[in-house]
Amino acid sequence: MEPPPERPSLYVHLPFCVRKCRYCDFNSWAWTGQDLRRVVDALLLEAERRARDLRPPTVFVGGGTPTLLPAGELARLLDGLHEITGFRDSSRETTVEANPESLDPERAGALREHGADRLSLGVQSLREEVLEAYDRVHGPAQALEAVQTARAAGFRRLNVDLIYAFPGQDPELWFQDLAAVLALEPEHLSAYELSYEPGTALTRLRDAGRWPEESEERRLLLFQETRRRLAEAGYGQYEVSNFARAGEACRHNLVYWRSGSWIGLGAGAAGSEGTRRRRNLADPEAWRRCVERGEDPVAEIEEPGPEVLLFDRFLMGLRLPWEGVDLEAARVATGLDPAAVFRPAWQRLQDEGLLVVDAGRARASARGFLLLDSLLEALLPRQQV
Ligand code: SF4
């Protein structure tokens, strides 16, 4: 277990995708011919103003679909970011997200050559009918090929994103997908339960009665069996949806879960430094024009009070089953004592065997981890008044 790095990490957002997947609630927009060169120029301008000499401990280039950029633009982006932030000398992990339809050998080679050392691949499913229902652009064969492309380009660290709980699917088909992905031996695997976020096409379909949702019972069964199979294959669960071989946890995402600091560049990118949070303008055109005018593309800045900051530490930290929340660090960051602020739930949750407080840390018990939403609800600041 390592403490959060002291210098802020760096997140860079590329907001465009070929089209919008039905379940997606990220700040992603269908690409309709916008000039991607200008997007890279604007990202570098924003980096120059907000991240000069940052020397970030980790970097994550996400989206959207960063690999929508041609290889030359990916190289220019990484070179520019290095010139401005010095990340190649400071970053212990530089991840780029990629989608199978656009990860060709040129792009993969450019990423590897210009500073990325980890690739996160959006595979989601190996079933044609599931990918179609999600409105994904690629098919199963392309996903498998993309893994080979990444390896051939020299990526030793690879994450594969998968989604389970497709309604009505025979669980065996999901477990076959899982086995096929494990046979590719990625170092890291993210298995997300299909979720229905406000405003997505999937949620609208469900609400219109045109898309059934898996029962809670079935979702729990899939979650538990997925964890069991991944553990058996040597992948430890270190976060609700994230599994890794020893030493292969995503260091950048751990910064978020450990309530560390990071600067977010690009349309809609969020950032957090100390007690201050900010979010950029979400609309890619509005963000770009603002940067080009020499203005700060900020949409909102928030300075939450200490109770909210403390709760948020638990919201993030309890997602980590082995490490939970460092209580001393929480006290120092917020000036509050969790045992006092969360009273009386603090003791009750321990008595009920949901929360374990031990060796200066608070974490969810095995049962508490399965009931994480209820556990967190009990700690919500409004419960304390
Ligand atoms: S490719 Fe990823 S970011 Fe783009 S729409 Fe699909 S899920 Fe969202």
Query: Which residue's CA lies nearest to atom 3 of ligand 1?
Result: 64
| CA distances to 15, 22, 198, 309, 356 from 25, in Å | 12, 9, 8, 24, 33
* Separation of alpha carbons 221 and 153, rounded Å: 37
Q: What is the pLDDT of residue 384?
A: 44
Instruction: Answer yes or no: same fold for 9-257 and 306-384.
Output: no
Cα 270 to middle of ligand 1, angstroms: 17
DSSP class of residue 214 equals -
Cα 258 to middle of ligand 1, angstroms: 25
Sign, CA dihedral 120-122-125-126, equals negative
Cα 16 to middle of ligand 1, angstroms: 8
Considering the entire predicted model, what is its pTM?
Answer: 0.96
Ligand 1 site residues, Cβ closer than 6 angstroms: 17, 20-21, 24, 26, 28, 63-65, 99, 122
Domain range summary for the chain, segments of one domain joined by +: 9-257, 306-384
Query: Which residue's CA lies nearest to atom 6 of ligand 1?
Result: 21
Burial class (CB in 10 A: 0-12, 13-18, 19+), 172: exposed
User: Which residues does the chain have with pLDDT short of 50?
Assistant: 383-385
CB proximity list for 61: less than 8 A, separation 6 or greater: 11, 12, 14, 77, 78, 94, 95, 96, 97, 116
DSSP class of residue 283 equals S
| CA distances to 326, 367, 370 from 350, in Å | 16, 12, 15
If one residue of 21, 68, 131 were mutated to test the ligand 1 pocket, choosing by the most ligand atoms within 8 A of its CB, it would be 21
- CA of 124, closest atom in ligand 1: 7
Angle 315-252-47 (CA atoms, 0-180°, nearest 5)? 110
Q: What is the pLDDT of residue 382?
A: 63
* Separation of alpha carbons 46 and 42, rounded Å: 6
> Per the structure block, which two tokens stand in for 249?
């946890």
> Per the structure block, which two tokens stand in for 68?
């929508």
Q: Which helix (H) or strand (E) holds 273?
A: strand 270-273
Q: Which helix (H) or strand (E) holds 71?
A: helix 71-85
Sign, CA dihedral 210-216-218-220, equals positive
The third-level CATH classification (topology) of the domain covering 306-384 is Arc Repressor Mutant, subunit A (1.10.10)
Q: What is the pLDDT of residue 385?
A: 42
Instruction: Write down the CATH superfamily of domain 9-257.
Output: Aldolase class I (3.20.20.70)
Closest residue by Cα to residue 222 from 282, 165, 145, 270? 165
- CA of 134, closest atom in ligand 1: 6
Cα 27 to middle of ligand 1, angstroms: 9
Query: Which residue's CA lies nearest to atom 8 of ligand 1?
Result: 24
Q: Report the b/e string of 55-76 with b at 16+ CB within 10 A.
A: ebbbbbbbbbbbbbbbbebbbb
Query: Which residue's CA lies nearest to atom 2 of ligand 1?
Result: 64
Cα 49 to middle of ligand 1, angstroms: 28
Q: What is the pLDDT of residue 381?
A: 76
